[in-house]
Structure 1
Amino acid sequence: MITSLVTGGAGFIGAHVARELLKLGHQVVVLDDLSGGFEENVPTEATFVQGSILDHELLARLFEQHKFDYVYHLAAYAAEGLSHFIRRFNYQNNLVGSVNLINESIKHKIKCFVFTSSIATYGALEPPMREDMTPQPEDPYGVAKYAVELDLKCAHEMFGLDYVIFRPHNVYGEYQNLGDRYRNVVGIFMNQLMQGKPLTIFGDGEQKRAFSYVGDIAPHIANCVNIKESYGEVINIGADQEYSVNELATTVMESMGLEGMIRHVEARNEVQIAWSDHSKAHRLFGTDRATTLREGLDQMVDWAKRTGIKKSSKFENIEVTEKLPPVWLED
């Protein structure tokens, strides 16, 4: 029996990857501290452990007990824009926690470490962003992700730890935390619409992203360990068609069948134009038909309406308040 650890498996992408691994016949252990995920997201066939990747003693026990073959590391606090203001929290959770996992993976000689990095590593490089570009992250979240990528390379060269690194971007779909005001713009828009609130857009809304449906991504993350050509690779994964945030807002309203108002607030410090080249992913994993933005939104809308309105809670431990967007302070 193949046994895999999925960190962050009660969260968004992790919950989907856990389900895909079960389809592949893996025995799945989900580790999640429930800081951003929900236990009901964990598939019933998986073993759920509530705990943090910062708890290195817990990790040591889990690795010893379950003898994992593979580690899928998706646990992260992925609020990229907020990371400027929670630098210590960001590096503890997104870098130090990752190193704890890498240490145990080396000690227990796991077969492959699958890491979900981010398009944030590229910063403001000219799109389409390619894996052969030298990353230039512009925020602490991207810095942490790139640091883990470099650490995995060092671990491979020193200890022979095999790995696959994915750089997804702007992923949306079922199991997103609709109550998170700092990340996942699609979920934010849907939650605002269901409450009759205006859709909040930073700046003029002409920022462009390739919004990527999770169902097009999770199967490849799960199955990559069976494709030896992917070992040691950094792989962009996501949609090929970019849209402005304004276009996204209009399409979300159409998909939900609700007419909402748009509220433009002061622009925040963010990369304006970002999407990736996916030639490598297509070569390694095939060219499955991509889910269109409207198709993906329609599927997410069905889930979001069943899930219902979620309270948008504030992050309680802001470390730097200077230049914090005022909208993030609102009740």
Structure 2
Amino acid sequence: MTYTSLVTGGAGFIGSHVAADLVRAGHRVVVLDDLSGGDAANVPEGAHFHHGSVCDPEVVDGLFATWKFDYVFHLAAYAAEGLSHFIKRYNYTNNVIGSVNLINAAVNAETVRCFVFTSSIAVYGHAEPPMTEDLTPAPVDPYGIAKYAVEQELKVTHEMFGLPYIIFRPHNVYGERQNIGDRYRNVIGIFMNQILRGEECTVFGDGEQTRAFSHIDDVALPIARSIENPRAYGETFNIGGDTPYTVNHLAGAVAAAMDAPLRVRHLEARHEVVHAFSSHDKARDILGVGADSVSLDDGLAQMAAWAKKHGPQEPSVFSGIEVSRNMPPSWQALVVPSEQSE
């Protein structure tokens, strides 16, 4: 039997890898992406591409009516934790309302066997690491709040309408096809782009904050294959790298991977969680996947080769800032208020 799967955000970084894994598994894949952060060139060969937004219910409902989806993989989001404080309306519209449009359509279609949602470890907030799935989420930024809201919505939708779901909480994913021109998110991509542009790597604060970094190969395939495992249904999984590193260590590792001297400029600290990494025991137990199968050095080498081939990117400027107060000074100089962008 050939299954039909919708991948939202499938022209983006993680979404395009999930879509490619599904194509290889024999699925008929439909990609929905508004190209606000992705590139149509990322859509895998064999997938059907529809340019549109999850925020448009007519587009979403039309796709469900046409394709009769068996599975939904919802990866479309604007995933910038730090910036989300200053783009609250945009954040909740894209990350909550867009998700609700998909959930409504999945319920009404009555064909969807499972709704797979990529949340984030941002839902844990300041919890002591390593964060485990049994912790009560307490997000500290609008992005994390939005992700947790959708998690809760999926649970009550299952209770009311029986829609099966699987939730993943990835963190700091990096690798080929990442948008290195986004100045607000994905520190590895930011560092690589700065090095390619001959600039210093910019580090917020003292650089001793810690994160675990997850190569795309350790994230995309488990997400795509999760629907094949009945034990995964109704569950929430942390997924990604096990080993935490300081941002200072990361900057040195990225410079080495890029064959470049380490040049760092420290910026004023921003409001963020200082230490964030999670446990993946549950994913190992139920999904049979291990973390860090791609080491940080190997993953950085792979991404560096890709980044060098594609060259430096002009850093983007978000053109719809809604609140500029208390914004990091390095971002403040680039502010384009939402009134000017309309």
Q: What amino acid is aligned across from residue 151 of structure 1 in structure 2?
A: E
Q: Which amino acid aligns with 1:139?
A: D
Deviations 1:47-75 (A, max 9, x none): 00000001100111100101100000000
Query: Does the 8 A contact of 2:19 with 2:29 survive in 1?
Result: yes
* Residue in structure 1 matching 2:310, options 307, 310, 327: 307
Residue 299 of structure 2 is matched in structure 1 by 296
Normalising to structure 2: TM-score of the pair? 0.96
**Inter-partner Cα distance in structure 2 for 1:329 and 1:255:** 31
The secondary structure found in structure 2 opposite 1:85 is coil
Partner-residue secondary structure (3-state), 1:303: helix
In the alignment, what sits opposite 1:163?
165
CA deviation after TM superposition for structure 1 residue 326, in Å: 1.4
Alignment map for 1:136-151 (pairs within 5 Å): 136-151=138-153
Q: Secondary structure at the match of 2:98?
A: helix
Paired residues, number: 331
Which stretch shows the higher mean deviation, 287-296 or 239-248? Answer: 287-296
Question: For 1:47 and 1:272, how far apart are their aligned partners in 2?
Answer: 41
2: CA distance between counterparts of 1:222 and 1:24?
9
Moved over 6 A (4+): none
Q: Residue 253 of structure 1 corresponds to which residue in structure 2?
A: 255
**Partner Cα distance (2:333, 2:232) in 1:** 44
Structure 2: runs of 5 or more not aligned: 335-342
Identity %: 59
Residues 150-176 of structure 1 deviation map (CA, whole Å, 9 limit, x = unaligned): 000000000000000000001101111
**CA RMSD between the two structures:** 0.9
User: 2:68 aligned with 1:67, yes or no?
Assistant: yes
Matches within 5 A, 1:52-131: 52-109=53-110, 110-131=112-133
Cα deviations across residues 92-138 of structure 1 (Å, max 9, x unaligned)?
00000000000000011200000000000000101110000000000
Residue 286 of structure 1: how far off its partner (Å)? 1.6
1:72 maps to a residue whose letter is F
Select the residue among 223, 227, 239 that pairs with 1:225. Answer: 227
Shift of 1:330: 4.5
Shift of residue 260, structure 1, vs aligned partner? 3.4
> Is the Cα contact below 8 Å between 1:314 and 1:329 reproduced in 2?
no
Equivalent position to 1:239, from 238, 241, 260:
241
How far does residue 297 in structure 1 lie from its aligned partner after superposition? Answer: 0.4
Q: Which residue of 1 aligns with 2:209?
A: 207
Three-state SS of the structure 1 residue aligned to 2:279 is coil
Q: Match for residue 326 of structure 1?
A: 329
